[in-house]
Amino acid sequence: MPKIERVLIVGAGMAGLSLAIALKRQGLNPDIVERQAAWSVHGAGIYLVGNAMRALRSLNLFDQVLRQGSLIRTQTLLDDRGRKLATIDTESVWASCGPCVGIRRTALQSIMVEALGTAQLHFSTTVVALEQRENLVAVQFSNGTESLYDLVVGADGVRSSIRKLIFGDSQPRYCGQVGWRFLVSCPPSITGWTVFAGHRGVFLFIPVGGGQVYCYADAAIAQPLDDPLEGRLERLRSRFGSYASPVPEALAELQSSEQIHFGVIEDILQEPWGSGRVLLIGDAAHATSPNMASGAAMAFEDALVLSKLIVSERDVAQVLDEYTTQRITRIRWVHEQTHRRDQIRNLPPIIRNFMTRYLANSVYRANYSPLLAEL
């Protein structure tokens, strides 16, 4: 009999869903609780680099994602006036691993929800208390019920309630960036990942299939700010309207501020990730800014590694130790490279553009080469 049978997953985002899918395919039926009242998707689109697609292949989701998404073969970097700085052949970089794909978040979520099938998933439910006993965890839920588990997995994002319950008031760090995300029709000139880099701001296009493109715009700002819904569209047009075509055309297509998701960019690297019979995965443990596009990949990899350990006949302490051993070097690498890339992009444009023109390909390969290795 497995030593870990009763598993609670807190959070039904990328990390939580992928762990639940992996466990179900290995014969376990975890409970899942989600604070939202229903499936809620923010962010519009997502860029999946090669190791993310490799992980999705292991989850038997590769074909559906590739079919509904858009294959990304290159990354093109331009300045805000549209002058090309560099083109990166991403297809060759990831050839031994998997393709890069852009896809709408709703499409990816639908694929994962379908793969999950019937599960003990409870919306509008949070964990209000955890009591670690000798051989189990007693969990009190916001609906007034209590259940016992062998393992509790916090997969509830950068503002994790489970992290706070276990490790106290561990707050994420503001990355010095705020971002806007939305979907519009894909301009004919956008055939791959394409970024326009201006002064302390960028505007990124990623085709996501179905004739649409995911737009991500961000600004480097010393202190976090709020961007209220009222007037958001007008402010976004004012901030990025001077960028080269097709940026103004993409902004002109938007009809209302409700189409734009705004958020402050935060990161955290919580160490340790576990205590007793509670473990953090995904953004709850190691969120980063999006410039490495590795958040989903790390979440999927977390889920695959953890699911195999859970069914491996190890006890909980061994699972937590081995999980950390297998994941920590990779996670730290992604965090380190993300911070370095953030520093480069915040350099004065003339210096940043010079470095991009001559170093983009070598830096890209160096940043991602450790992630090509199998788990």
Q: Are the beta carbons of 310 and 319 closer than 8 angstroms?
A: yes
- Beta pairing, strands 151-154 & 278-280: parallel
The residue written with tokens 């061994």 in the block is: 318
Phi, psi dihedral angles at 295 (to 5 degrees): -60, -50
Q: Can you give the pLDDT at residue 40?
A: 72
Q: Can you give the pLDDT at residue 41?
A: 64
What are the residues facing 138 on neighbouring strands?
A: 131, 148
- What one-character DSSP code corresponds to residue 169? S
Buried b (16+ CB within 10 A) or exposed e, 18-49: bbbbbbbeeebebbbbbbeeeeebebbbbbbb
Whether the link from the prior residue into 188 is cis, omega within 30° of 0, is: no
The residue written with tokens 């994002």 in the block is: 157
Residues 6+ apart with CB under 8 A from 325: none
Q: Can you give the pLDDT at residue 110?
A: 93
Specify the 3-state DSSP secondary structure of 242: coil
* Stated length of the chain: 375
Phi, psi dihedral angles at 223 (to 5 degrees): -120, 140
Name the CATH superfamily, with its identifier, for domain 7-72+98-172+267-346. Answer: FAD/NAD(P)-binding domain (3.50.50.60)
Specify the 3-state DSSP secondary structure of 151: strand
Q: Are the beta carbons of 30 and 120 closer than 8 angstroms?
A: yes
Q: Can you give the pLDDT at residue 308?
A: 97
- Average pLDDT, 10 consecutive residues per value, the chain (375 residues): 87 96 94 89 87 98 98 98 98 96 96 89 95 94 96 97 93 95 97 96 97 97 94 98 98 97 96 96 97 96 98 94 97 96 91 95 96 92
d(CA 341, CA 338): 5
Other CB atoms within 10 A of residue 230 CB: 9
Q: Report the first-to-last Cα separation within the chain, whole angstroms.
A: 26
Q: Can you give the pLDDT at residue 1?
A: 47
* Whole-prediction pTM: 0.96
What are the residues facing 187 on neighbouring strands?
A: none
In 3D space, the residue among 62, 108, 97 whose CA is nearest the CA of residue 375 turns out to be 97
Specify the 3-state DSSP secondary structure of 80: coil
d(CA 263, CA 279): 26
In 3D space, the residue among 145, 142, 144 whose CA is nearest the CA of residue 125 turns out to be 142
Q: Which helix (H) or strand (E) holds 33?
A: strand 31-33
Alpha helix segments (H runs only) across the chain: 14-24, 50-58, 62-68, 90-93, 105-116, 161-167, 232-240, 247-253, 283-286, 295-310, 316-345, 349-368
- DSSP characters for 177-231? EEEEEEEEEPPTT--SEEEEEETTEEEEEEEEETTEEEEEEEEE-SS-----STT
